[in-house]
Amino acid sequence: MSIQGISISSENKYVKPENKKTKNEKMSLKKRAFSLIKRLRFVIVTSFVIIVLYCVNSPAGLKALEISVSNTQEMLGLIPPIFIFMGLLDVWVPKETFIRYMGESSGLKGILTALFLGSAAAGPLYIAFPIAVLLMKKKAKFAYVLFFLGVWSTTKIPLLIYEISYMGAKFTVIQVAVCIPLILLFSLAIEKILSADERESLYIKAESEFP
């Protein structure tokens, strides 16, 4: 009996680590699944809404599906080249260069650099956000990153050319003269409103997005 008891206890000691390892693996799988669902939550919610819309109104559901597929194809055509460009920019341009031209002490040079980058851009606004994250990784001043996003959305050169052809040069000049100072003002104000810890957490997140 004692021998059997010893053998049983030894078997139990041998089984426990395996059970613990299996439990850890299950927890890891759950975390990965939760992380994947979190990343794809927009796709999941959008798919659910389209299905519900199709059940309620099939023509509207099919139209929503058509628009979603069209937008997805557009994104797939634009985003990969942008990420390749960002990867090359991340490798080729050192952080010190970004700090010199868009860092905390860059002053007017940082404003003009952000204005140039945003104005010379082409493409929809969602392309600008990964670039903004890269600028944050390179320690660009937070207000200048916001200014860059604002300029991209309102006063980039291709958009201004299109605007001049429809609204006229006078309207475009007034729009630029009003929007640029306001975008800069609000960018600086938002940076002041956010605490140092909040800004630091955003920079840490940017670092994790582009290790």
* Pairwise CA distance, residues 181 & 198, whole Å: 25
Q: Give the model's pLDDT for residue 179.
A: 92
Residue 77: predicted pLDDT? 74
> What global pTM score does this model have?
0.68
Q: Which pLDDT score is estimated for 182?
A: 95
Residues 6 or more apart in contact with residue 89 via CB below 8 angstroms: 134
Question: What span, in angstroms and rounded, lies between the C-alpha atoms of 146 and 181?
Answer: 13
139 contacts: CB under 8 Å, gap ≥ 6: 95, 98, 99, 103, 203
- Residue 11 is predicted with a pLDDT of 47
pLDDT at site 2: 47
* Integer Cα distance of 190 and 210 in angstroms: 24
Q: What is the pLDDT of residue 173?
A: 92
| Amino acid 150: pLDDT | 93
Q: What is the pLDDT of residue 190?
A: 94
Contact 99, 141 (CB under 8 A): no
Q: Which of 95, 183, 84, 86 is nearest to 140 (CA)?
A: 95
pLDDT by 10s per residue, the chain, length 211: 444 444 444 444 444 555 555 666 666 677 777 777 777 777 788 888 889 888 988 888 888 888 888 888 877 777 777 777 777 777 777 778 888 888 888 889 999 999 998 888 777 788 888 888 888 888 889 999 999 999 998 888 888 888 898 888 899 999 999 999 999 999 999 999 999 888 888 888 888 766 5
